[in-house]
Structure 1
Amino acid sequence: NDMPVAHNQTDIEDFEVYTNEPADCKWSHLDQSYDNMEEEMSCSSSILDMNAQMLYKCSTTLTGIKNRQDNKFFIRCKDKPLETEDRNENKESYEFTLIGTQELVIDKVLPNETIKDSSDSVKVTLEARTSAGYNEGNSTCYYSETENDYIMFFETNSYKHSQDLWLTQGNYNYFIKCVDLGGNTDTKKVSFNVETDRGAPIVARAYHEETHLKLVTNEEAKCVYDTKNCNYLFDEGVSLKVIDKVNHFVDWDTKKKLYVKCKDKYDNQPSPSQCSIVAKAFKNRKKS
């Protein structure tokens, strides 16, 4: 009772009610007397038909279920099915409600890009966002590489779903399926690449720009320098100013030799005694 059903499901087959004695039962969309109810149920009346709880079964198909609304069914029964008079019937209907729903929608699946890290096994987080369906997208999501054997997400039973995976370098396709309490289902495919990056950033260019020495790296990086040698800890270096994460600037100073180290977001950096580049500003020669 008070349970959701799938979008566009118009009937419930093999719906059953149980009585404590042989009876005739009917149902209707309206709360009315037994005699005025339109739909008859098929009821067992033999003592041989009792179940283990000593109850008699009546079955029917509930029809007329509508989407996006509460569907009420009213049930009444009358005892002594083999008699025509002196029969007792329910004074009040038993009310049964089924909740019509709408389609469940997977709005977004992630990742949809290349995932990089410096390790052989790279952490990848599958994500899904759901909406509509029953209870504003609240559902359970599963993932599969084959579209057959699905595994439930670790974080799910909400409208936000996530699952951490540890994957080696390569191309991947995953199928994501979400199901809500009403049985509404949606499926999406997500594709992404995994790469292992162990190389430190490379300083591709170094030149004089206005009042600065400008260094350009081949990937997003943070750069620092020391004025003595390359044998220093990265965290002890002096940071260069950075724009767009690949353009690095320091004052143009002809008195200093700069021992520069650069590292990327995966913490790839030169060996402790090595630099990314050693640079020194020079004096412009005066034209004669």
Structure 2
Amino acid sequence: MNNLYILKLGGSIVTYKDSKEFKIRVALLEQIARELKIIVNVNDLKLIIVHGAGSYGHVPAKLYGFDKKQDMNDINWLGALKVKSSVQELNTMIIDIFLKNNLPVFPIHSSSIVKKNKGAIDQFFLSSIEAALDNNLIPVLYGDMVFDVDEKISICSGDQIVPYIANQFKIEKIFYATDVDGVFDIDPYVSTEAKLIREVEMNGEVINMKADLTSSHNKDVTDGLRGKVLELFTLKHSTEVCIFNGLRGENFELAMLGKLKNCTKIKKT
């Protein structure tokens, strides 16, 4: 499908991820909605949005033990359902903000279309996404608790969803909105000497860059930036990935039109 992009809104963009309280970034989400409406309409683009769970997912997931492998004979089902309820609540609030700003988004609950096996996506029903796109709507998916053949239930992160969808739709451009300018040689939240890596080449299973791909500086049960980059190895075709700072609303247009300088572009060949 021509001019179809994926935009991943990181958990630190939709929520105050390092906060102990559940709080979403209302003003930023309103700005993002307005920016995306213009970008999509003016440039005749189709868009799939995937958002992270932020504090709404990672805090309860860790509380109920889903940051580590579960005992299959003692699944905390009530805890899993509370995590699921929390991320669904976040999705509903994001959808409401987008709709109030006239962005035609259609929520698709990942748990209803995804099934995993041993932690990897095993089944993914795409028909709802296709129908939304055919009707000029923007499908919105998110990290969720999903059934797992081997583990009974497990987390399906937005960073797993993105490359899977990209492969199915043969998407050529993916955008990750994060709380940093891109990939750095060392964590910019730890050192003022951190340098932004603007271009990265991925060839097969080899990534050509010198960077400290540690987990996110925020509390993250899905492995943060390191997890994002590692999941990109599952891309099966030539793709350009842009990781940029989504805390600055004006960056969305610049990034999606290829005009943003302070970002990391990863090319999968």
| TM-score above 0.5, yes or no | no
Bigger CA radius of gyration: 1
* Larger relative strand fraction: 1
Question: Which bracket does the TM-score occupy, shorter chain normalised?
Answer: under 0.3
* Larger relative helix fraction: 2
